[in-house]
Amino acid sequence: MPGDAAEMIEENFADVLDGIAISNGIVRMSLAKADPDVQGKTIPVCRVVMPVRGFLDAYETLLEHAKGLAEAPVVVTAAPVAPRSPNFG
């Protein structure tokens, strides 16, 4: 439907939550995407700013969805891989 509010929301893709800062009752979450040219480096894409109450509500919602994904199992967790020294291989 033209003019629908959801249609007008800007979308940004992010691979990772790059940081969270809380100050004066406001939470700022920085989102980033992986740099395709440099492994392990990220490129900031946007910042979400919201009151602490909204952040806590969002946290509860994310927990519910994460539990559902794990039970589905949409998300497959692997056993941790021990780091390997370049000196022994």
Per-domain boundaries in the chain? 5-71
Phi then psi for residue 57, to 5 deg, are: -65, -40
Instruction: Please tell me whether residue 69 adopts helix, strand or coil conformation.
Output: helix
What residues of the chain score a pLDDT lower than 70? Answer: 1-6, 74-89
Structure tokens belonging to residue 66: 């994460």
pTM, whole model, 2 decimals?
0.68
DSSP 25: T
pLDDT score for 18? 94
Q: How far is CA 30 from CA 35, 63, 64, 65, in A?
A: 15, 19, 22, 21
Q: The sheet that has 26-34: what strands, in order across it?
A: 16-23, 26-34, 42-51
Q: Positive or negative, the Cα torsion across 55, 60, 61, 66?
A: positive
